[in-house]
């Protein structure tokens, strides 16, 4: 997994030397990008991403640029650089070894130098037989809540996006080259990585329970994601048994007559087909009508301990 870190300081000789050392030694997957000004950082972020930003002594008023960077890219970890060894906690001392600097950055990113796998009980699905219930909003809200999450869109219709299609194809084929493709996924502006939906649900319906179990095992071996959140459309699963692979399943509902009839039919389907274990993983809930990145959504997720 690559972690892209910007570094901006008026001592550009220092910046370039540190960048070249860490990048050439590939410490913990870090890749440093050098900047001579915060304006250059802002311009870079218009088409690229950063996981973190080291900011040292920079000429001029830095606050407007810092505010713009943090407001527009809330997944970025800001790390101020200090030339004072006795600076407050949270500052990075400038004149220490590159190895120590790399270790500090990885610690702030909550990344171990030893590759970590996806932890047990980390596979969540958001699924509902009801439309307009906030399913995708909840799934993306959960992805923001858990830093380092992987969001997987499995909806009826999506867009043609080459990398996502390749990843899903490798899951169907159970090809271990999947890992090299996954490493190409970069965090979006909200801080989570995303496998976007592919053009038609007919392609997704090729995925079997065994494929999902294999995918889970691959990420458990070395996925480096805190949580994997599946946003599953009602028509895309060829077999409800696929949901058995998930550790937790959230089912958004709305209190409308037609919606409640669909929900009742879904529950009867589970009972009639003896999906006892699956039923124990389900959590029915009403999702607030708001954007997935809003404080309301994040408060709903945090207060409900989802």
The CATH number of the domain where 243 resides is what?
3.40.50.300
The pLDDT tens digits for 146-190 are: 877 999 998 877 766 667 878 888 888 888 788 778 878 888 888
Q: Which two tokens stand for residue 47?
A: 């088409």
Report the pLDDT value the prediction gives residue 127, as an integer from 0 to 100. Answer: 95
Residue 142: the pLDDT is 94
Is 75's pLDDT higher than 70?
A: no
Token pair 């529950």 is at which residue?
A: 267
Q: What is the pTM of this model?
A: 0.62
Q: Using the predicted structure, report yes or no on whether residue 115 has a pLDDT greater than 50.
A: no
Residues 104 and 128 placed together within one structural domain of the fold: no
Mean pLDDT, all residues of the chain: 84
**Mean of the pLDDT values across residues 82-105?**
84
Classify residue 246: in a domain, yes or no.
Answer: yes
251 — pLDDT class (breaks 50, 70, 90): very high
Do 178 and 224 share a structural domain?
yes
Collapse the DSSP code of 79 into the 3-class scheme (helix H, G, I; strand E, B; otherwise coil) and give the result.
strand
Domain containing 147: what range?
A: 123-303
Phi, psi of 195 (to 5 degrees): -100, 110
Average pLDDT over residues 88-95: 82
- Residue with structure tokens 């220092």? 14
For residues 252 and 286, is the Cβ–Cβ distance under 8 A?
yes
pLDDT level of residue 17 (50, 70, 90 thresholds): very high
Q: Per-residue pLDDT tens for 4-13?
A: 899 999 898 9
Question: Considering 78, 108, 138, which residue would you say is the last residue of a domain?
Answer: 108
Q: Is the pLDDT of residue 292 over 90?
A: yes
Residue 142: count of CB within 10 angstroms of its CB: 24
Sequence-distant (≥ 6) Cβ neighbours of residue 137 within 8 angstroms: 287, 290, 291, 292, 297
Instruction: Give yes or no: residues 266 and 292 share one domain.
Output: yes
Q: How far does the chain reach from its first CA to its final CA, in angstroms?
A: 27
State how far the Cα of 251 lies from the Cα of 246, in Å rounded to an integer.
13
142: closest CA among 151, 130, 134, 153?
151
What CA–CA distance (Å, rounded) separates 171 from 169?
5
Q: Is the pLDDT of residue 209 over 80?
A: yes
Instruction: For residue 113, tell me if it sits in a domain.
Output: no
Looking at beta carbons, which pairs linking 298-304 to residues 24 or more positions away fall under 8 Å?
298/141, 298/144, 298/145, 300/141, 301/138, 301/141, 301/142, 301/145, 302/145
Instruction: Using the structure block, give the residue that is written with the tokens 């713009």.
Output: 68
């Amino acid at each position: 997994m690559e972690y892209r870190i910007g570094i901006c300081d008026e001592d550009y000789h220092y910046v370039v030397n540190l960048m070249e050392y860490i990048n050439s030694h590939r410490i913990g997957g870090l890749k440093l990008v050098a900047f001579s000004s915060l304006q250059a950082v802002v311009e870079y972020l218009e088409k690229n991403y950063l996981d973190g930003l080291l900011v040292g002594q920079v000429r001029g008023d830095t606050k407007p640029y810092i505010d713009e960077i943090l407001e527009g890219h809330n997944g970025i970890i800001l790390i101020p650089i200090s030339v004072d060894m006795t600076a407050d906690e949270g500052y990075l001392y400038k004149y220490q070894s590159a190895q120590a600097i790399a270790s500090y950055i990885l610690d702030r990113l909550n990344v171990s130098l030893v590759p970590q796998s996806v932890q047990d009980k980390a596979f969540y699905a958001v699924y509902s037989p009801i439309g307009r219930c906030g399913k995708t909003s909840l799934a993306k809200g959960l992805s923001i809540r858990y830093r380092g999450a992987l969001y997987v869109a499995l909806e009826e219709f999506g867009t043609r996006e080459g990398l996502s299609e390749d990843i899903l194809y490798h899951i169907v084929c159970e090809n271990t080259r999947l890992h090299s493709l996954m490493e190409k996924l970069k965090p979006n502006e909200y801080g989570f990585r995303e496998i976007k939906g592919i053009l038609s649900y007919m392609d997704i319906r090729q995925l079997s329970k065994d494929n999902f179990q294999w995918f889970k095992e691959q990420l458990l071996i070395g996925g480096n994601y805190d949580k994997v959140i599946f946003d599953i459309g009602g028509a895309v699963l060829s077999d409800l048994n696929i949901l058995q692979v998930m550790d937790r399943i959230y089912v958004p509902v709305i209190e409308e007559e037609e919606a409640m009839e669909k929900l009742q039919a879904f529950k009867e389907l589970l009972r009639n087909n003896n999906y006892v274990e699956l039923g124990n993983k389900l959590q029915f809930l009403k999702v607030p009508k708001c954007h997935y990145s809003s404080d309301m959504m994040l408060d709903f997720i945090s207060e409900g301990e989802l």
